[in-house]
Structure 1
Amino acid sequence: MARDTDSIERDIESARNQLAGTLDELALRANPKRVVENTKQTLIAKLNQPAVKYGLIAAGTVIGLLVVRKVLR
């Protein structure tokens, strides 16, 4: 059964609107400032986890002691 022209035009307009919305969302997500901000927030959240935080403190302490030991020799 053939579809009428108005129905086809409505479908095309709907698809066009969906595509425009998708492109707007992609442009928003790919904005470099937004990507940097999201990455920064993710990194801060990861570093604030106790296992990571204390592991970095321990590694920094060991490296600091090794440097002091090397300087005093």
Structure 2
Amino acid sequence: MATQRDASEIRTEIERARDQLATAVDQLADRLAPKRLVDDAKTSLRQKAETPQGKAVLGGAALLVGLLVIRNLRRSRRNR
């Protein structure tokens, strides 16, 4: 047989659920804040860049950019 709850019990449960929902929404808002996402991405990239693989990738990218700059400078001098 189901027991009947009085209005104060129901009110208490609703308030508890409302508080839990408010806490969850606040946590989501904090996790998804644009500034926090940017800061997390920066931290992650810095950590990856400090690994040997990250240093190799950065070195390779720098070399590629350098070669492209040299190539474009040579082409622009030929076209004068």
Instruction: Name the TM-score, length of structure 1 as normaliser.
Output: 0.74
Q: Which residue of 1 aligns with 2:37?
A: 35
How many correspondences in the alignment?
72
Q: Which runs of 4+ in 1 moved over 2 A?
A: 58-68
What amino acid is aligned across from residue 30 of structure 1 in structure 2? L
Describe how 1:1-73 pairs up with structure 2 within 5 A: 1-61=3-63, 64=66, 68=70, 70=71, 71=74
Measured on the aligned residues, the alpha-carbon RMSD in Å equals: 2.3
- Structure 1, unpaired ranges of 5+: none
- Structure 2, unpaired ranges of 5+: 75-80
Higher mean Cα deviation, 13-22 or 42-51? Answer: 42-51
Partner Cα separation in structure 2 for residue 63 and residue 28 of structure 1: 38
Instruction: Name the TM-score, length of structure 2 as normaliser.
Output: 0.69
Q: Residues 62 and 33 from structure 1, CA distance in 2 versus in 1: closer, same or farther, beyond 3 angstroms? A: closer
What is the percentage of aligned positions where both structures have the same residue?
41
